[in-house]
Amino acid sequence: MQNSSSLPRLEDPSRLAQRLMQKAHNQDGLPEIAMGLFFLVVSGLICAQVTLPHGSIGFRIVVLALAILIPALGLSMPAALKWVRRRYFIERVGYVQHKPVGWKQIGFGILVAVLVAGVLFGVVPRLSRPDGWLLAGTGVFGGAIVALGGRLPRFLVNGALMAATGMILAYSGVSLDRGFAILYGFEGVVCLVSGGVVCLRFMRQPLETGE
């Protein structure tokens, strides 16, 4: 009689596909470069907001940019990545047409956003040192998203760095604006360097022709 330990290792085929697609998505370093640039833009705008005189035209432009440009950049990143890959990297990464995002995923995203908003507006203001909690929470939550988004060692390191930076900034007592500027700026540089190294190594691989 065969016991289950002698059977070949089985894996849910859907999980197998997700794992392979995630690996393909991250192999050229482009998502990290995009994330790094995004974080640096956010950090730059926050720095500008802190530096510019309140009520000045520059200050208002920066506030508008934070409110409109940042969400727009975030939402357009997947399409931009797709365009860059198809225009410049298609010979190396190949061509794929993904299925449209399902209602389940959209619903899950909305649920997470509602939960985060609930914590931000409902719980954090009641805590002592809410600025510190916001910085630490952003670092830890953001770091978790980075680590889970990639599931490769370099993403785990990046995520841990972001979490640690958030907690250090919270402990240091720095103001919220400056804290966010430093957190996003640091993580932006880390993602840019990490993604850049991966991209260069990917581009250096010899291109095999033929099928």
Partner 1 sequence: MSAKIQRLGEVDRIIHEPARLMVVALLAAVKEADFQYLHQSTGLTKGNLSVHLSKLEEAGYIAIQKTFRGKYPLTICRLTDLGREVFANYRKVIRAAL
Residue 38: CB minimum distance to partner 1, A: 25
* CB of 12 or CB of 79, closer to partner 1: 12
Nearer to partner 1, 92 or 178 (CB): 92
Rounding to the nearest 10 degrees, give the CA dihedral for residues 70, 72, 73, 76.
160
**Distance, CA of 27 to CA of 20 (rounded, Å):** 11
Instruction: Please tell me the distance from the alpha carbon of residue 32 to that of residue 2, in angstroms, as a whole number.
Output: 46
Output the six-digit token pair for 174.
């720095």
- As a whole number of angstroms, the distance between CA 157 and CA 161 comes to 6
Nearer to partner 1, 90 or 127 (CB): 90
Per CB under 8 A, residues contacting partner 1 are 1-2, 4, 7, 10-14, 16-18, 20-21, 23-24, 27, 86, 90-99, 208, 210-211
Nearest CA-CA partner of 32 in 77, 69, 73: 77
Which residue, 90 or 115, is less far from partner 1 as judged by CB? 90
* Residue 150 beta carbon to partner 1: minimum distance, rounded to whole angstroms: 15
Phi first, then psi, for residue 55 (nearest 5°) are 85, -10
CB of 110 to partner 1, least distance (A): 23
Nearest to 23 by CA among 145, 206, 152, 201: 152
Q: Which of 1, 57 has the CB closer to partner 1?
A: 1
CB of 201 to partner 1, least distance (A): 14
The closest alpha carbon to 206, from 85, 96, 87, 91, belongs to 91
Task: Kindly tell me which of 19 and 129 has the beta carbon lying closer to partner 1.
Answer: 19
Name the minimum Å distance from CB 114 to partner 1.
28
Nearest approach, Cβ of residue 3 and partner 1 (Å): 8
Residue 139 CA to its chain's centroid (Å): 12
